[in-house]
Structure 1
Amino acid sequence: MNAFAYSASDTALLVIDPYNDFMSEGGKLYDATRATAEAADFDDNMRNILAAIRAASIQVFVVPHRRWRAGDYEGWLHMTSSQSGVRKVQLFAAGTWGGEFHPEFGPQPGDVVVHEHWAQSGFANTDLDAQLKLRGIRRIILVGMVANTCVESTGRFGMELGYHVTLVKDATAAFSAEGMHAAHEVNGPSFAHAIVSTAELLNSLPRAAR
């Protein structure tokens, strides 16, 4: 899928789950995603994208997972294996370093931080759809963690809601190369309108931002 021109009037960048537990050395899942992140050059690509997006005056949305709190998931009839894992390791625990946003990839002044999602989609049970619509956003660009879970689920849900969805395949990571392949080569084409590299995305931003 080919890139095209994006504009500040109707485009937003969604940065999904930019927590220290994922993106900072020493985080609880940093080592689990490290191999695919390094293979994709994730850190440098995120830096370049965020700088260019902000230079283009495109709105940044931070789409965070639920920070673990004592009592979470108690009494639930149906928990996924991922949610059981979150509960076991207390992932993104509120009030801890791991539950803080990555200093570079987390929110900056002017960014919109939406309500935390409990499972995988940044739209389900949050205010993301309302926040986008209130700003006239029709196109969403997705980066962050994890490629074949929260990034994919948010993109798929966004397509169902009528948004134009772009996946940036080298500005995300997963727990395995197979997860990355599934996200971008198998599942992504069924819902995303564009699947691009960081270089392709940057070339499609307003010239002043390049």
Structure 2
Amino acid sequence: MDTASQYSSTTTAVLLVDPYNDFLSAGGKLAEMARPVAESVNTVAHMRTVVARARQAGLPIFYVPHHRARPDDLQGWRHPTPYALGAHKHQVFAEGSWGGEWHPDFRPQPGDVIVKEHWGGSGFANTDLDLLLKQHGVSRVIMVGLLANTCIETTARFASELGYHVTLAGRDGRLQPAGHDRRARHQRPDLCACHSHHGGAGRQPERLSEGGFRAAGSAPGSSGRRAPPTRHPPRR
């Protein structure tokens, strides 16, 4: 079966995660933190490529946005996580602010699906993403967006647990099916996608083409050793 038929527009969707100004635009609250890696792997350019070619192929785009901060968000919360506390302190993606608006290159178009905002790392937890995907007949998802080791990884793992076929968009525009390499190696802990933090040598990735999706002739190269995943001690 050719790649284009595997990534059919009737069963495949792109999950575009957190394409906010605060992440992707100069002056954004998190942009400077992400800039060195984002520039080195051409994050925005690759995101544009994946989204544009997916649109050309008729694949639906699902926006998977993080919660837009408000000053009273955590009032009365019993167990806010350090992640939530940090986002609240800095009012990341603040509601009504420029930073909480979509990057100009990734504004929704007619027919795009806007998912309810997620509070943590997963675009599925406490949102309607799973329901919307099922209602649209989607069984394969292509992940692009921010950040690779937080929302991208968590959403991808959650999707896999729910039975979806998950594909991660790579640093060179290739598509890498997740899960066939159990090592799940990270390239950089602060990486803002669009590139895969799952690698593998046993299967050739697919490359996006102007006409849709087609198999690539060779696997992407890599430079330098990748850092192993962070392991946390079990809670007592």
Q: Give the structure-2-normalised TM-score.
A: 0.74
Structure 1 regions of 5+ residues with no counterpart? none
Which 4+ residue blocks in structure 1 deviate beyond 2 angstroms?
Answer: 176-180, 203-208
SS in 2 for 1:66: coil
Instruction: Choose from 166, 177, 188 the match for 1:177.
Output: 188
Rounded to whole Å, the distance in 2 between the matches of 1:12 and 1:163 is 11
Rounded to whole Å, the distance in 1 between the matches of 2:61 and 2:207 is 15
2:155 matched to which residue of 1?
154
Cα deviation for residue 23 of structure 1 reads 0.7
2:114 matched to which residue of 1?
113
SS in 2 for 1:177: coil
Residue 46 of structure 2 is aligned to residue 45 of structure 1: yes
Aligned-residue CA RMSD in angstroms? 2.5
Rounded to whole Å, the distance in 2 between the matches of 1:77 and 1:4 is 48
Indicate the larger mover: 80-89 or 11-20.
80-89
Structure 2 regions of 5+ residues with no counterpart? 174-186, 215-236
SS in 1 for 2:61: strand
SS in 1 for 2:106: coil
Q: For the Cα contact (< 8 Å) 1:56–1:206, is it kept in 2? A: yes
Task: Count residues with an aligned counterpart.
Answer: 192
SS in 2 for 1:162: coil
Cα deviation for residue 36 of structure 1 reads 1.1
Q: For the Cα contact (< 8 Å) 1:9–1:137, is it kept in 2? A: yes
Higher percent of residues as helix: 1
1:163 maps to a residue whose letter is Y
Q: For the Cα contact (< 8 Å) 2:29–2:92, is it kept in 1? A: yes
Q: Give the structure-1-normalised TM-score.
A: 0.83
- Which of 1 and 2 has higher RCO (CA within 8 Å, sep 6+)? 1
Q: For the Cα contact (< 8 Å) 1:168–1:201, is it kept in 2? A: no
> Are residues 41 and 134 of structure 1, via their aligned partners in 2, closer, same or farther at CA, if it must alter by over 3 Å?
same
2:165 matched to which residue of 1?
164
Q: For the Cα contact (< 8 Å) 1:12–1:60, is it kept in 2? A: yes
What's the % identity of the aligned pairs?
Answer: 48
Structure number with bigger Rg: 2
